[in-house]
Chains A and B, each alone.
Chain A
């Protein structure tokens, strides 16, 4: 078996990953630096019998994706900062109605229009807290072209498995860089489809907790008639203001992801076994960090890298354990300090945490991180 090898851009790999995962619907709106995802899918989706639509705005694109997913189709949208802000309204709708879908947010500088062609990692908090109200969040932060492909597949799997929107957030560097990619053969990567109801239409309830914290989702047009609303709802899908029902539904929606943390959270540990200094990084900056860690080792400094792959849910347990065994932690990130707060929250003062922050549109380079390592040594 010889896998197809190609030299691809991250955004292109993302689009192919979506097709591999079974995505057959895309709705989007042009925005730099994510547009190539839409361009590739406008070409690929008709070829596999899927549908591509360019909507009138970002809000409509998110809405169309949810509508399509309710008919049973795996659906995707892609955007960047300003568009991600606009989509938050309907991302919240997908959270409360528990409709699987995937959002690609290629991170660029902000706030507002910011630096459309410059890289950034400043949307990570928005991925969790961007839409109002309590809700679950799953967010993946790949660091290579290959990983953007595989994480897009995993995003669809998690969306389908947990009935929730999943965000994939490469920074602009990962979205736009070109690398070698080995295409997985069909069947090589796991592809998960949502659980359909095992009961007939007469008995079906869209949020039936008899089937656990992730109730089966029927498709519109498949013989099941049910109601979907953004209002707080009861198990039958109809609006309710009954305190006990609202509390239970809200708690279940958050719990379904929180209790699955071991299934969802992924990370990479590099040279951490004997490390005294840990660099916690993700996306393009984790590549600089790896280089810096190697350089530090050459200089006799026991440094290691904790690479975040699943940003939300945050790898709390792992970071806590890290804080217990290293002398210092450094968080280089292309923002003015976001991950550092999560790391400090997990470490609870067991190790000092310092940051290297950059928002000038330039990546944090290995020399900067190496200097940071030498400083805290």
Chain B
């Protein structure tokens, strides 16, 4: 018997908007499996997003869902978590949404270490608007606004998250589908701000402009560049050239924001009584 995704999908909301060959559907299935594995209370789970292809994900799922403005998902989510700490809050979105227009919200959510999970589907392009380069488009790559090759150096989202103070950071790919839910389970369980970056593919805009002949070729590319963290230890710098580390990249325990604020409130109220 296969896994029953249907019970988490809102009736009548499929088919989704994603193009054939897009990895977002694979990621959504991974998220559903993770939520199922953790048996999260659906009434007490908010899934929040910004704008873009990936940000359409919440609409398909039967939870408290909030599709917000471009890049602001994490800021809306912060309000939800602060106002109702008992809720599980999961934020989803793409690379442009998360680290370009939403970059400021992203780094500050990492710094605060507020207890939520941010799932970033990184397909290295603005897909919804037709394939403009994003802050994760590789140097030299073609996009509809880099007809002569991308002059911008890209962000490494996972390293950005670690640098900004996120206490759990993991990376996977849309090819390694069975790893996605495992990473998300650990991320959601983690107390603090957790970031899961899933390298994804956009055959429609990125693939077409960058000489990927097929969806399969793009998926194979994800397979080829991924190196599990454990395996990377045994590899030389030369062997790691052009590779991307996958798995849990960072984990630490630090005071969680909402819990700390709760303590502050308790302290203030006790001093009022005393």
| Interface residues of A, Cβ cutoff 8 Å to B | 24-25, 27, 46-47, 49, 51, 53, 55-57, 59-61, 63-73, 75, 89-90, 93, 220-231, 238-239
Given A51-B82, A220-B64, A238-B59: 17 more A-B contacts, CB < 8 Å: A46-B268, A57-B104, A60-B78, A60-B104, A60-B105, A63-B78, A64-B82, A65-B79, A67-B76, A68-B82, A89-B69, A93-B69, A221-B43, A221-B87, A224-B43, A225-B43, A228-B66
With a CB–CB cut-off of 8 A, which chain B residues contact A25?
Answer: 79, 82-83
Evaluate contact between A46 and B264: CB separation under 8 angstroms: yes
Q: Which of A27, A47, A59, A226 is the one whose CB lies under 8 Å from B79?
A: A27
Residue ID in chain A nearest B257 by CB atoms: A53
Evaluate contact between A46 and B62: CB separation under 8 angstroms: no
**Chain B 73-113 interface residues, beta-carbon cutoff 8 Å to A:** 75-80, 82-84, 86-87, 104-105, 107-108
**Distance of A301 Cα from B268 Cα, bound (Å):** 58
Given contacts A56-B105, A220-B87, A225-B63, A47 and B76 within 8 Å (CB-CB): no
Chain B: interface size category: 35 or more
Nearest 10 A/B pairs, CB to CB: A67-B79, A64-B79, A63-B75, A68-B83, A60-B75, A56-B108, A229-B67, A67-B76, A68-B79, A71-B84
With a CB–CB cut-off of 8 A, which chain B residues contact A49?
Answer: 265, 269
Evaluate contact between B44 and A59: CB separation under 8 angstroms: no
**Distance of A65 Cα from B82 Cα, bound (Å):** 10
With a CB–CB cut-off of 8 A, which chain B residues contact A221?
Answer: 43-44, 46, 64, 84, 86-87
Does chain A have a CB within 8 A of B261?
A: yes
Q: Can you name 30 A-B pairs with beta carbons within 8 Å?
A: A24-B83, A25-B82, A27-B79, A46-B269, A47-B272, A51-B82, A51-B261, A53-B78, A56-B107, A60-B72, A60-B104, A63-B69, A63-B72, A64-B75, A64-B79, A65-B79, A66-B68, A67-B48, A67-B80, A68-B79, A71-B87, A73-B84, A75-B83, A220-B46, A220-B66, A220-B80, A220-B84, A223-B43, A229-B67, A239-B67
With a CB–CB cut-off of 8 A, which chain A residues contact B264?
Answer: 46
Does chain A have a CB within 8 A of B208?
A: no
**Distance of A238 Cα from B61 Cα, bound (Å):** 12
With a CB–CB cut-off of 8 A, which chain A residues contact B105?
Answer: 56, 59-60, 63
**Distance of A55 Cα from B84 Cα, bound (Å):** 17
Q: Which of A51, A224, A226, A230 is the one whose CB lies under 8 Å from B83?
A: A51
**Distance of A227 Cα from B46 Cα, bound (Å):** 10
Residue ID in chain B nearest A238 by CB atoms: B59
Does chain A have a CB within 8 A of B209?
A: no
Does chain A have a CB within 8 A of B58?
A: yes
**Distance of A230 Cα from B46 Cα, bound (Å):** 16
Does chain A have a CB within 8 A of B250?
A: no
Q: Which of A63, A72, A222 is the one whose CB lies under 8 Å from B68?
A: A63
Evaluate contact between A70 and B66: CB separation under 8 angstroms: yes
Residue ID in chain A nearest B67 by CB atoms: A229
**Distance of A226 Cα from B42 Cα, bound (Å):** 11
**Nearest-Cβ distance from residue A106 to partner chain B, whole angstroms:** 22
Does chain A have a CB within 8 A of B13?
A: yes
**Distance of A61 Cα from B79 Cα, bound (Å):** 9
With a CB–CB cut-off of 8 A, which chain B residues contact A46?
Answer: 264-265, 268-269
Residue ID in chain B nearest A57 by CB atoms: B104
Q: Which of B64, B66, B78 is the one whose CB lies under 8 Å from A64?
A: B78
Given contacts A68-B82, A225-B43, A231 and B67 within 8 Å (CB-CB): yes
Q: Which of A65, A93, A229 is the one whose CB lies under 8 Å from B59?
A: A229
With a CB–CB cut-off of 8 A, which chain B residues contact A57?
Answer: 104
Does chain A have a CB within 8 A of B65?
A: yes
With a CB–CB cut-off of 8 A, which chain B residues contact A56?
Answer: 75, 104-105, 107-108
**Distance of A130 Cα from B224 Cα, bound (Å):** 49
With a CB–CB cut-off of 8 A, which chain A residues contact B76?
Answer: 63-64, 66-67
**Nearest-Cβ distance from residue B114 to partner chain A, whole angstroms:** 9
Residue ID in chain A nearest B82 by CB atoms: A51
With a CB–CB cut-off of 8 A, which chain A residues contact B265?
Answer: 46, 49, 51
**Distance of A22 Cα from B102 Cα, bound (Å):** 31
**Distance of A238 Cα from B67 Cα, bound (Å):** 10
**Distance of A89 Cα from B43 Cα, bound (Å):** 28
**Distance of A73 Cα from B84 Cα, bound (Å):** 9
With a CB–CB cut-off of 8 A, which chain A residues contact B80?
Answer: 67-68, 70-71, 220
Evaluate contact between B68 and A230: CB separation under 8 angstroms: yes
With a CB–CB cut-off of 8 A, which chain A residues contact B261?
Answer: 51, 53
Given contacts A71-B87, A90-B69, A227-B59, A59 and B75 within 8 Å (CB-CB): yes
**Distance of A63 Cα from B72 Cα, bound (Å):** 7
**Distance of A224 Cα from B264 Cα, bound (Å):** 30
**Nearest-Cβ distance from residue A40 to partner chain B, whole angstroms:** 14
Among B13, B64, B87, B105, find the residue whose CB has the most chain A CB atoms closer than 10 A: B64
**Distance of A64 Cα from B44 Cα, bound (Å):** 18
With a CB–CB cut-off of 8 A, which chain B residues contact A230?
Answer: 67-69
**Distance of A226 Cα from B107 Cα, bound (Å):** 29
Evaluate contact between A53 and B66: CB separation under 8 angstroms: no
Q: Which of B59, B77, B269 is the one whose CB lies under 8 Å from A67?
A: B77
**Distance of A125 Cα from B130 Cα, bound (Å):** 35
With a CB–CB cut-off of 8 A, which chain A residues contact B78?
Answer: 27, 53, 55, 60, 63-64, 67
Given contacts A93-B68, A238-B13, A73 and B83 within 8 Å (CB-CB): yes
**Nearest-Cβ distance from residue A130 to partner chain B, whole angstroms:** 15
With a CB–CB cut-off of 8 A, which chain A residues contact B46?
Answer: 220-221
With a CB–CB cut-off of 8 A, which chain A residues contact B79?
Answer: 25, 27, 53, 63-70, 75
**Distance of A371 Cα from B68 Cα, bound (Å):** 51
With a CB–CB cut-off of 8 A, which chain B residues contact A66?
Answer: 68, 76, 79
Residue ID in chain A nearest B72 by CB atoms: A63
Among A47, A228, A239, find the residue whose CB has the most chain B CB atoms closer than 10 A: A228
**Distance of A338 Cα from B43 Cα, bound (Å):** 47
With a CB–CB cut-off of 8 A, which chain B residues contact A224?
Answer: 43, 64
**Distance of A60 Cα from B65 Cα, bound (Å):** 18
